[in-house]
Amino acid sequence: MSRTERLLDILQILRRHRRPVSGAVLAQETGVSLRTLYRDIATLQSMGAEIDGEPGMGYVLKPGFLLPPLMLSPTEIEALALGLKWASQRTDAPMGEAARNAMAKVGAVLPPELRHRFEDDALAVIPHWEATEREDLPVIRQALGEERKLLLGYADQHGARSERVVWPITVGYMDATQILAAWCELRGDYRHFRVDRIEHVSLLPERMPRRRRDLQKEWRDTILQNRPSEPS
C-alpha cells in the first residue's frame, strides 16, 4: 500500500466512527507502526484535515471534512456510477433528475483516467420493468426530511380502502415498487405500505411526536423479532 492510499484509508476509518479512535486501532487497520501512524496523522492535519486528538486519547475527524471525488479509487468510482445509474432509472422523476445532475457534476471534476471508468457502461442497470410516474414519492421524501405526518389513502392487497395517518420512517426501493415503513396511528403499530397502492397522499402540518431516528431503531428491532405485514 502506498503512503497516499494509507492516508486515505486513515480518513475513511475516521469517517466511519463518531467517537475517537485510538492510534493503536488505526495503526493495526493500516498495517503500520504506531510511530508511523502518528506521523501520518500529523501529515493529514498539515494538509487541512480537521483531526482532533492526541496520542493516548484517540482521534476524531470533525464533521464536514469531505474528500473530493478525484480521490476516490477506481472501484469506488464504479460503485458510485452504478448507484447513480440505478437512482436515475428506478426512482421518481425529481430523484432521477437529481441523480443525472450528480453524475454530470462528478464527471466534470474527475481526472481523465477516472472519468473513463465513471462513464463506462461495463456495469449497467438493465431495465426489466416499466417505470411509472409516482408523484407521491417527493411528498413522502419531504415528510421524511421534515419529520411530519402523512395522510394516506390506501388500498390493501385485497382491495379494501382506508385512510391512515402515519409517521413515515423510511422508503425501501425494490425493483418493481417501493415500500413505505411507517407507524400507523390507526393500528398503533408499525406497518409497511406499498407505494403503488397509495391512492393519494397529503403532507400534514403536524410534526411527528417522536424523532424519526428513534422510530427507525425501534422499527428495526421490531422487524427482527416479528416482521410487520402489509396494513390490515
**Do residues 195 and 171 make contact, with C-beta atoms less than 8 angstroms apart?**
yes
Containing domain of residue 112, as a range? 70-119
Q: Does the structure show a pLDDT above 90 at 34?
A: yes
Q: Quick one: 155 and 201 in the same domain?
A: yes
Q: What is the mean pLDDT of the chain?
A: 85
129 has pLDDT over 60 = no
Residue 56 shares a structural domain with residue 75: no
Residues 25 and 52 in one domain: yes
Tell whether the model's pLDDT for residue 227 goes beyond 80.
Answer: no
* Mean pLDDT (whole number) for 146-159: 94
8 A C-beta contact, residue 108 and residue 115: no
**Both 91 and 164 in a single domain?**
no
Of 87, 229, 201, nearest to 140 by C-alpha is 201
Distance, CA of 16 to CA of 220 (rounded, Å) = 21
Q: Tens digit of pLDDT for each residue in 43-84?
A: 988 877 889 988 888 999 887 655 554 467 778 888 899 999
Q: Do 33 and 99 fall into the same domain? A: no
Residues 141 and 115 in one domain: no
pLDDT for position 191: 93
Does residue 232 fall inside a structural domain?
no
Q: Residue 182 has what pLDDT?
A: 96
Encode burial over 85-120: b for 16+ CB neighbours within 10 A, e otherwise.
bebbbbbbeebbeebeeebeebbeebeeebbebbee
pTM of the model as a whole = 0.62
Q: What single letter denotes the amino acid at residue 140? A: I
| Pair 79, 142 in one domain | no
The reply to whether 30 falls in a domain is: yes
Q: Percentage of residues in the chain with pLDDT exceeding 70? A: 89
Tell whether 47 is covered by a domain.
yes
100 and 152, same domain (yes or no) = no
Site of grid cell 392487497: 157
What CATH number should be reported for the domain holding residue 172?
2.30.30.520
